[in-house]
Chain A
Amino acid sequence: MTLPRFDVLVPETVEQACSLLAEHGGGARVLAGGTDLLVDLKRPIVQERLIEAGGGDPGRFTTLGDGEPGAIDPWGSGDPPPDVLISLHKLAGLKRIEVLDDGRLRVGALATAREIQRVPEIRDRWTALAEGADSLGSPLVRARGTIGGNICNARPAADITVPAICLGAQLELQSPDGSRTLPGEQFILAPGVTVIEPAEILTAVTFPALSARTGSAYYKLGQRKALEISVVGVAVYVELAGDDTVQAACVTLGAVGPTPLAARSAAEVLAGGKPTGELLARAARAAAADATPIDDHRGTAEYRRLMVEMLTRRTLELAVERAGGRS
């Protein structure tokens, strides 16, 4: 067996899931698709066997949290492995994806990337989210990996999280004490560390309604097309006013800082301007200045900064086009 010993509890309701978490305190972890958590749990055992077999690159199993400080510690926060997993797989209600009457999009925390990819309204209107889901790992990863897991795992390169934050995601969290809603950009504090309380579960992610003239895009730069952690990820959102100026804009960067990063000066450059090639290029330079990349085996800080500039310009052009404007 490659997994350590643990018990698995299978709640039938969200309330039950929260109270089980509360009951087991720090020793319990939530299990969604398991594509992060089970890999983390297997890592020490697989690594030990590789070393025993006299081979293996000890860096091999750091892929998921790679490219950021603290990535080598599989627990991020230094917590011991859990003795209880609370598996959410029976909570069918958390899989639901719907456009609400007021125009907001609500995606249940257990919706998989594959399910998100296939919703026509998301492709059409919350395009960056669909493109983030498209970029996750491989078809097999997309079939299991959930939006909730991607966000709660809190990696700076997370391909659903970066566009979700860019599109103004609001996170619905539930605990035995009630529920609260938190802006996505306030959720992640450091690699693998979030503000989630020990007995809290992320139940859904909602996105603000979009006016007709909005466009968004996400681009993940990796070294290959599948099974790759991004070198740089760029999500952009643009809303145009009636006179074709930029009414609102947001640029969110992945893999160039300890958390998904809001490129605030890029948004400031864009606000109120005509989205000409010159303006978008200026915003792209501002985004590159906002980035705080580091060197690692996937790319140097300098390369990443250059790529942020180029990809921000390109994704902005695409988003403006999608919003019905020209750049």
Chain B
Amino acid sequence: MKRIISLAVNGVEHELAVEPRRTLLELLREDLSLTGTKKGCGIGDCGGCTVLLDGVPAFSCLTLAVQAEGCSVETVEGLAGNGRLSSLQRAFVEDGAIQCGFCTPGMLMTATELLRANPHPDEREIRLAISGNLCRCTGYQKIVEAIRHAAEADHE
């Protein structure tokens, strides 16, 4: 039997009827058409589906939609305000931290949370923070640089 749940996604309140077995990832992509959040492995290994759940990174593939009841969810679609990319997003573009782009939404969400908690991470802290987000293209170097540049840009 479906459940009615309410949750805020990128600041917008939604009330939805969901099957108990529906994952938060399926809710975002299929019910709300927010396809920025990616499905990779589906079992917690890749981080492609990372969103912020009440400000904490969470893999949406292993989170049931009903567990997000009453929560605030942030996805990659919420990062740009008024059509302007966040400084982190800009740094990803400018530094060539995006190749195929599949890992990018998850990386951005993880790095967004990192920079909120720790505005001046060193390289080790950056690498540790993204160690649950896999990238098959970039070799990570450009991603690490982009996160560092974004941190610097925010504090110039």
Q: Which residues of B contact A85 (CB under 8 A)?
A: 20, 64
Q: How far is the CB of A53 from chain B (nearest CB, A)?
A: 14
B43: CB under 8 A from chain A? yes
Residue in A1, A4, A6, A87 whose CB lies within 8 Å of B67: A87
Contact (A3, B23) CB under 8 Å given A143-B57, A144-B59? yes
What is the number of contacts between chain A and chain B, taking CB atoms within 8 Å?
84
Report A's interface with B, CB cutoff 8 A.
Answer: 1-8, 10, 31, 34-35, 38-39, 42-43, 46, 61, 85, 87, 89, 114, 137-141, 143-144, 225-227
Chosen A-B contacts, 10 in total, with CB atoms closer than 8 Å, are A6-B20, A6-B21, A7-B1, A10-B66, A35-B62, A39-B62, A61-B43, A87-B66, A139-B110, A140-B132
Q: Does B50 contact A (CB under 8 A)?
A: yes
B131 closest partner in A (C-beta): A226
The one of A5, A139, A226 that contacts B21, using a Cβ cutoff of 8 Å: A5
Instruction: Take A34-B63, A226-B131, A226-B132 as given contacts and tell me if A140 and B50 are in contact as well, using a CB distance cutoff of 8 Å.
Output: yes
Whether B57 contacts A34 by the Cβ 8 Å rule is no
B44 touches A141 (CB 8 A): yes
Measured between beta carbons, the chain A residues less than 8 angstroms from B20 are 6-8, 85
Q: How far is the CB of A43 from chain B (nearest CB, A)?
A: 8
Q: Which of the residues B21, B58, B63 comes within 8 Å of A1, measured between beta carbons?
A: B21
| Chain A residue at minimal CB-CB distance from B45 | A227
User: Within the assembled complex, what's the spacing in Å between the Cα atoms of A137 and B130?
Assistant: 12
Q: Are B62 and A139 in contact (CB under 8 A)?
A: no
Residues of A with C-beta under 8 A to B58 = 140, 143-144
Min CB–CB distance A69 → chain B (angstroms): 23
The residues of A that contact B133 with a CB separation of less than 8 Å are 140
- A2→B66 CA distance, assembly (Å): 16
Asked whether any CB of chain A lies closer than 8 Å to the CB of B26, the reply is yes
Q: How many residues of B contact A (CB 8 A)?
A: 31
B62 to chain A: which residues have CB within 8 Å? Answer: 34-35, 38-39, 144
Closest B residue by C-beta to A226:
B131
Nearest residue (CB) in B for A227 is B45
B56 within 8 A of A: yes
A120–B19 CA distance with the chains assembled, in angstroms? 40
A1-B21, A34-B62 known; A138-B43 Cβ under 8 A: no
CB B10 to nearest CB in A, in angstroms, measures 19
Write out the residue numbers on chain B whose beta carbons fall within 8 Å of the beta carbon of A89: 67
A262-B66 Cα distance, complex, nearest whole Å: 40
CB atoms of A140 and B43 under 8 A apart: no
* Bound-complex Cα distance A83 to B110 (A): 33
**Additional pairs, 14, CB under 8 Å, beyond known A39-B44, A46-B42, A139-B110:** A2-B23, A2-B42, A5-B21, A6-B20, A8-B64, A34-B62, A34-B63, A38-B62, A42-B42, A43-B43, A89-B67, A139-B130, A226-B131, A227-B132
B22 at the interface (CB under 8 A from A): yes
B115 within 8 A of A: no
Q: How far is the CA of A302 from the CA of B130 in the complex (A)?
A: 34
* Chain A min CB distance to B75 (Å): 15
Q: Which residues of B contact A43 (CB under 8 A)?
A: 43
CA distance A140 to B155 in the complex (A): 27
Q: Please encode chain B, from 34 to 77, with 1 for each CB lying within 8 Å of some chain A CB and 0 for all others.
A: 00000000111101001000001111001110110100000000
From B68, which residue of chain A is reached at the shortest CB distance?
Answer: A89
Complex formed: what's the CA distance from A89 to B26 in Å? 20
Residues of A within 8 A of B1 (CB): 7
A139 and B43 contact, CB distance less than 8 A: no
A116 to chain B, nearest CB (A): 14
The yes or no answer to B16 lying at the interface (CB within 8 A) is: no
Cβ of B128 under 8 Å from chain A: yes
Given contacts A3-B23, A87-B64, A87-B67, contact A139 B128 (CB under 8 A): yes
**Shortest Cβ distance from residue A138 to the other chain B in the assembled complex, whole angstroms:** 3
